[in-house]
Structure 1
Amino acid sequence: MLSEKTIEIIKSTVPVLETHGVDITKRFYQLLFANHPELLNIFNHENQKKGRQQTALANAVYAAAQHIDHLEQILPVVKQIAHKHRSLGIKPEHYPIVGTNLIAAIKDVLGEAATDEIVQAWTEAYGVIADAFIGVEAELYEQAEQQSGGWSGFRAFRLDKKVKESEIITSFYMVPQDGREIASFIPGQYVSVKLEIPGETYTHIRQYSLSDAPGKPYYRITVKREDDAPNTPAGKVSVYLHEHLQEGDKVLLSAPGGDFTLDVKDERPVVLISGGVGQTPMISMLNELAERWPHRQVTFIHAARNGRYHAMKEHVEKQAESHSQISAYWCYNEPTDQDRELKAFHKEGHIDLPWLQEIVPSKDASFYFCGPVPFMRAVNDALKEWGIPASDIHYEFFGPSGNLDNMPEARETMARA
């Protein structure tokens, strides 16, 4: 338990964290990797370069400071991060290392403003916050290992099949090398893929949503090759998967995890909205609903650049043809002449509220969406404007977590998929 004095000091630093939080976390990662380069085997180097990890950590520290006297209020955030930590292999022994470097970063950035009193208060507070994470993660580790077909750490799989879905998206079907049972999962969850890429000093770990329903003898991930955007460095892992990973090759996977999941207890209609490769968890949810919950009405909405970049279109259309309760709609922002000739899409431009109100049968539904951050921000704003309750809005970030309602970037009414 923290003393009232410590709580008071931590809360007094909230304005400072709001101003200097990202500077502190940037300095933290500099110190962390300089002192412990072995941790580069765990962390996503690309998110470091883009600043996403620093921002996510700054937001988490800020939230913890705000609610230091009632940490249970941020338990959903703790659980979300804990799922990712478990899939990456973060262990209790890592937390003292993080704490030491975080306190050092606070001292470096704040200088004389980081008084002995503030440093001591944050040292105590970090211990409490770390214990909260360690406790939640211990439960997740136990669940992952003890469930039927489960395991701890990373398990060897073999790439059984590789299927090109569009110009930049490919599906990878993976089966366990030992031939034994694999753990089930809830649609929307992901696995971590651990690779040793030739020529790279450190291993690389990436998290990919499972893109098929549970209950299959394989896990499927569907990956976008991240090298098509101008002025953006190519994604080492996605390019390696597309170019070099061949059928029969070994892949290391974590047990499935994640808290962005389909609520199968909710009997109401479901609306699945995706942009680009953000449809991967939606395909898992769609397949699950089609196979096991045929009474629930499903509206599947997908935004893509055009038909050349639209993955799994035929699969979704077949699901809609085979199940009367499923409707599918496509939105292309750069349709080709062939797309227009074939009438391959339903809307040109971007997903917006008037179109959603036109095609979604009822606002009394559960809404799930995933895609690029600007896309998700636009969808979130549209749903809020429509009056959809926060409890019915569910979304997933690919990469470090965030909050669409509190993101500092300027809001956009439309966004590219």
Structure 2
Amino acid sequence: MLSTRSTEIVRATLPAVGGAIGEITPLFYDKLFADRPDLLRDLFNRGNQANGSQRQALAGAIAAFATALVEHPEVRPDAMLSRIAHKHASLGITPEQYPLVQRHLFAAIAEVLGDAVTPEVAAAWDEVYWLMANALIAIEARLYEEAGAPDGDTRVPYRIVGRIRETAEVTTFLVRPLDGRPLPASRPGQYVSVQVELPDGARQIRQYSLSGHPDDALQFSVKRLAGDPDGEVSHHLHDRLGVGDTLLVGAPFGDVVLGGGDAPVLLASAGIGCTPMIGMLSHLAATGATRRVIAVHADRGESTHAFRTDLLQLTAKLPDAVAHIWYEEPEAGHPADRTGRADLTAIDIPADTTAYLCGPLPFLRSVRTQLLAAGVAAADIHYEVFGPDLWLGEGA
């Protein structure tokens, strides 16, 4: 809990800090990478740094945590902290890195805000930082212990034992530990970190959802990302790595996981967001679940819809499951009322449904709004995003 004096100072200065956070975070990263260029080469996603999304995510997290401390001092934002901690654990973040971040972040704040950062203001925001940092360190330590890697290094060499072309843009990889050790435990909805060495020597890390749970391998699926810049790791995996090649794979992490019980469950995805949903659906089918299952997916068209056949086959195996599919560019014969963006208003969704969402932010916002209107409790709507979580500061 933030001290009384610091709460007053943070509340008074939050508008100024929040208003300048867009200037503070780029300067922070510039200072950090000037001091430690190896972090950009081997830890931070260079694509997310180039397009600015990582900077937006950091700004949102800082603002959200500080706002929570002053508006709800009696409640720790555990959901936000858990999400960040799982991402950190998948990257191998350790306690020694937090002082480094603090030093460069506060140097950036002082440079942007100048004389407004008095010793009292600096001390108050330092308290905010270490409340957040120490909470994350504690959660991450527990995650590392559970993964059997108290030093924070969960990545070990894996060999690619299978490669499946799902669509022109999506490929599934099946991997096994090179040394023959047992596969790590995982839960439906989790992801693994994958580290590859790129042609320029950089060892970049990405997270990919487990898209199924075969008994003898880990299975994750990768979409070839096009953009500004193109996804360098996804292109490397698609173009350069095949059966027999090796890569480093971390333990499964992620806090958006399929819960148990008999309540209805809704799995909603768009595009490559189908990967964790297919993982959850395959688990439900494998365990003979009898609960009601509503699967919703939106895509450009049938040819870009990865795991379309799996979706239909898995829902057919379950006694009380149905699939609803929307295409923006449907082929002939696709239902007219399933053309365009996903519209859940015509679907019977029980109020006690637990929902899991994964896809682009506009899709997440739209589906969440529709679920709330249908009577689903906000606490029962869980979401996963790929890359930096730009929704953290928006109370989702």
Shared fold by TM > 0.5?
Answer: yes
Q: Give the secondary structure class of the aligned counterpart of 1:260.
A: coil
Q: Distance in 2 between matches of 1:390 and 1:367?
A: 10
Change (3 A) 1:320 1:117: closer
Instruction: Choose which of 367, 383, 389 in structure 1 pairs with 2:371.
Output: 383
Equivalent pairs: percent with the same residue? 40
Answering whether residue 331 of structure 2 is matched by residue 331 of structure 1, we say no
Partner of 1:111: 114
Q: Which runs of structure 2 are paired with 1:151-166 in the superposition (5 Å)?
A: 152-166=153-167
Q: Quote the offset at 1:361 in angstroms.
A: 5.1
Which residue number corresponds to residue 132 of structure 2?
129
Q: How far apart, in 1, do the equivalents of 2:337 and 2:297 lie?
A: 10
1:240-261 deviation line (CA, Å, top 9, x unaligned): 1111111111010110011011
- Contact 1:271–1:360, Cα closer than 8 Å, also in 2: no
- Tell me the equivalent position of 2:358: 370
User: Who is 1:8 aligned against?
Assistant: 8
1:120 maps to what in 2? Answer: 123
1:394 aligns with 2:395: no
Report if the CA contact (8 A) 2:31-2:104 is conserved. yes
Alpha-carbon distance between aligned partners in 2 of 1:384 and 1:404, rounded to the nearest angstrom: 19
Gap regions ≥5 residues in structure 1: 409-417
Partner of 2:220: 221
Given that 2:53 and 2:390 are in contact with CA atoms closer than 8 Å, whether structure 1 keeps it comes out as no
Relative distance call for 1:84 and 1:404 in structure 2 (3 A) is closer
CA distance in structure 2 between the aligned counterparts of 1:259 and 1:123, rounded to whole angstroms: 28
CA contact (8 A) 1:376 1:404 kept: no
> Which residue of structure 2 lines up, in the alignment, with residue 143 of structure 1?
146
1:79 to 79, 82, 94: 82
Q: Give 2:215's aligned amino acid.
A: K
Amino acid at match of 2:209: S
Deviation at residue 76 of structure 1 after TM alignment:
1.6
| 1:13-72 Cα distance to aligned partner (Å, 9 max, x none) | 211132112221111111111111121111111111222211111122112222336385
Distance 1:299 1:134, change over 3 A: same
Q: Does structure 1 retain, via aligned residues, the 8 Å contact 2:25–2:108?
A: yes
SS state of the match for residue 191, structure 1? strand
Secondary structure of 1:68 counterpart: helix
Partner SS, residue 281 of structure 1? helix
1:318 alignment partner in structure 2: 313
| Kept after mapping to 1: 8 A contact 2:225/2:234 | yes
User: 2:32 matched to which residue of 1?
Assistant: 32
Q: Which 4+ runs in 1 deviate beyond 6 A?
A: none
1:340 matched residue in structure 2 = 332
- The aligned amino acid for 1:381 is T
Q: Aligned partners of 1:8, 1:368: CA distance in 2, in Å?
A: 38
Cα RMSD over matched residues? 2.2
| Structure 2: gaps of 5 or more residues | none
- The CA deviation at 1:4 is 2.8
1:249 paired with 2:245, answer yes
Q: RCO higher in 1 or 2 (8 Å CA, sep ≥ 6)?
A: 2
For residues 34-49 of structure 1, the aligned pairs below 5 Å read 34-40=34-40, 41-49=42-50
Letter in 2 for 1:85: H
Contact 2:60/2:393 (8 A) holds in 1: no
Q: Contact 1:299–1:360 at 8 Å: present in 2 too? A: no
TM-score (ref. length: structure 2): 0.93
User: Quick one: structure 1 residues 80 and 404, their matched pair in 2 at CA, closer, same or farther if it must change by over 3 Å?
Assistant: closer
Q: Tell me by how many angstroms 1:130 deviates.
A: 1.8
Secondary structure at the aligned position of 1:340 is classed as: coil
Quick one: distance in 1 between partners of 2:57 and 2:101?
Answer: 15
TM-score using structure 1 length: 0.88
How does 1:128-207 map onto structure 2 within 5 Å? Answer: 128-145=131-148, 152-200=153-201, 202-207=202-207
Given the superposition, is the C-alpha separation of residues 384 and 140 from structure 1 closer, same or farther in structure 2, using an over 3 Å criterion? same
Could you list the per-position Cα deviations for residues 287-326 of structure 1 after superposition, in whole angstroms to 9, with x for gaps in the alignment?
A: 1111114211211111111111011111222223333322
**Relative to 1, partners in 2 of residues 1:246 and 1:329: Cα closer, same or farther, differing over 3 Å?**
same
Cα distance in 2 for partners of 1:39, 1:115 equals 31
Residue 268 (structure 1) aligned with residue 263 (structure 2): yes
